Structure 1
Amino acid sequence: MNSNTSDNHIILRKGIYDDLPEMLQLFTATIDEVCKKDYDLQQLEAWKSGSENRERWVKVIKEQYVLVAVTENKIAGFCTLDQGNYIDLLFVHKDFQHKGIATMLYHHIEKKALLNNEKELTADVSKTARPFFEKRGFHVVQEQTVHVKGIAMTNYKMVKNLIS
């Protein structure tokens, strides 16, 4: 199949328990490839280790609003909304970067928050994702150092006001 035609065939649907293995694979592969310009190897390894916390991921599926973008029966990306106003995870497969998938996912999630009458959206955002969030109207409230498996990493607490 011509790869150019696949861009328009992205289906957004609710994530389910059976999506977890593919979501985890996407999570680690994206960190490896897409985030390597912003974090060193130790940091990437520590970040990826989050995929081993099975309990956390099962909880994500059970308790968060999980949205997956599917193309050609593959998960191209996913985004999760926790407590109605916190974007917990937003990842797009390394092979599907710069095709508007993150934007599609984000818009849907923002709509969901607005339907829930949320006043703002918050997220803890990596250096890699910060420009994406800034383009969507988020601003940095605080630069943070988080420790994952003893490794210090920088991320940003970001917020977007949903009331104009």
Structure 2
Amino acid sequence: MQIVPLKSSHFPQIATVFHQAVSAAAGKGYTQAQCEAWSAGIRDKRYWRSRLRRSLVLVARDNDEVLGFIDCELCHPDKGYIGHLYVAPAHQGRGIGGKLIDALVRQAPCFGVGALTTDASLFSHRLFAAKGFSDKGRYFQQKSGQVLPGFAMTLSLPFHIDSLRGTDVASVARLFHEAVQGASEYYSEAERNAWSPALRDEATWQSRLAPSKVWVARGDSGIVGFINLLPRGHGEAEIDCLFTAPAAARSGVAGSLYRVLEQQAWRDGVQRLTVEASYFARPFFLSRGFTELCRNEHPRHGQVLVNFSMEKWLTRPEVG
């Protein structure tokens, strides 16, 4: 089974999954009349295209068969509303709904979503609760003369991705210094002090970041990571910085930041991404499809700092 973004070809099967899942809910907390009010029949492609046009939609599929889907409306500031989570009756009980929620939680921060909300049905309530959603009260929806009961639920995400603001520069400077000083697994104290001997001022960072596009990861405690994309000529760009707060290490911050950057690089027509990766960033970039080109040694303040030149081709130029 794979979880993939929605494609136009998925609409007919999504329509069928939704109707069949609702129909199967009869006798499981809902009456036949309630289910018929909820979904009187299989809606056409035009309905679903309009209904989901402002949403992040993820589809669980096995080969060409759609097993289930989840969507998150992105039109609410800092919040995402889960309007649908449905699994085909023949595939329920296999953990597909939970995997769809997990995938959405991983991807939602990339779209600026800091919290997820939903109106859970009586039979999805337990699943959302198991995934950390909290109850905010009972929910009642009226459809075609029927009242459909459920639960209003919400989940706060640990961070979300946003563009850099002018007021963020001081936080970025502090995060960089703390991240370097926290890299004791790969660099000695003398090397870390040579790399970042002290907190650099805002003017230095403003000058460094000005030519690039910069994204930050915002958490409850402030900025927990940042990345920037620096143009390097026609069809090329460099990842100049990717740093996360030591307390946010291995929490998905770097992956979410990189996902947003690569999507922007595609939109900008970048063919080749480069980076000079530190020892601790090297495995991350290898896992994202980068190739190591060479090992570099940089003398600095009496120390030799090692990093690795790496590249990733997003699209190869045509030859001939």
- Structures share a fold, TM > 0.5? yes
The 1:34/1:147 distance shift into structure 2, 3 A limit, reads closer
Change (3 A) 1:109 1:46: same
CA distance in 1, matches of 2:152, 2:41: 19
Instruction: Count how many residue pairs are aligned between Structure 1 and Structure 2.
Output: 155
Q: How does 1:41-120 map to 2 (within 5 A)?
A: 41-49=32-40, 51-52=42-43, 56-83=47-74, 85-120=80-115
Structure 2 equivalent of residue 7 of structure 1? none
- Range with greater deviation from structure 2 (42-51 or 103-112): 42-51
CA deviation after TM superposition for structure 1 residue 27, in Å: 0.6
Residues 17/87 of structure 1: CA separation in 2 closer, same or farther (3 Å cut): same
Corresponding residue of 1:124: 119
TM-score by length of 2: 0.45
Higher relative contact order (CA 8 A, sep 6+): 1
SS in 2 for 1:98: coil
* CA deviations over 1:8-66 (Å, ceiling 9, x no partner): xx011111222111111111111122453110010010011375476542123422111
- Tell me what 1:5 maps to: none
Which segment is superposed worse, 29-38 or 129-138? 29-38
Comparing 85-94 with 45-54, greater Cα deviation is found at: 45-54
1:16 maps onto 2:7 in alignment: yes
1:31 aligns with 2:37: no
Cα distance in 1 between the residues matched to 2:156 and 2:26:
27
Matched, 1:139 2:107: no
Mark the runs of 5 or more structure 2 residues left unpaired by the alignment.
Answer: 159-219, 221-320
Q: Partner amino acid for 1:46? A: A
Are the counterparts in 2 of residues 15 and 61 from structure 1 also a CA contact under 8 Å? no
| Distance in 2, Cα, partners of 1:120 & 1:50 | 32
In the alignment, the residues of structure 1 paired with residue 41 and residue 145 of structure 2 have an alpha-carbon distance, to the nearest angstrom, of: 13
Mark the structure with the bigger radius of gyration.
Answer: 2
Aligned AA for 2:81?
Answer: Y
Q: 1:94 to 1:68 in 2, by over 3 A?
A: same
Q: Secondary structure at the match of 1:37?
A: coil
Contact 1:16 1:61 in 2 (8 A): no
- Residue 65 to residue 43, structure 1, CA distance change in 2 (3 Å): same
In the alignment, which residue of structure 2 is the partner of 1:6?
A: none
Give the letter aligned to residue 103 of structure 2: H
Would you say the 8 A contact 1:14–1:67 is kept in 2? yes
Relative to structure 1, is the Cα distance of residues 140 and 50 closer, same or farther in structure 2, using a 3 angstrom cutoff? farther
RMSD, aligned α-carbons: 2.0
- Distance in 1 between residues matched to 2:95 and 2:140, nearest whole Å: 29
1:68 Cα offset (Å): 0.7
Q: CA deviation at 1:115?
A: 2.5
Judging by fraction of residues, say which structure has more helix: 1
The change in CA–CA distance for 1:148 and 1:51 in structure 2 (over 3 A counts) is: farther
Q: Please tell me whether the aligned partners of residues 25 and 35 of structure 2 are also in contact (alpha carbons under 8 angstroms).
A: no
Residues 107-126 of structure 1 deviation map (CA, whole Å, 9 limit, x = unaligned): 11111122334321100110
Structure 1 residues 35 and 135, CA gap change in structure 2 (3 angstroms) = farther
Q: Which runs of 5+ in 1 are unaligned?
A: 1-9
Q: Percent identity?
A: 23
Task: Give the direction of change, closer, same or farther, for the CA distance of 1:50–1:130 in structure 2 (3 Å limit).
Answer: farther
Alpha-carbon distance in 1 for matches of 2:102, 2:154: 15
Q: Conserved in 2, the CA contact under 8 Å of 1:17 and 1:61?
A: no
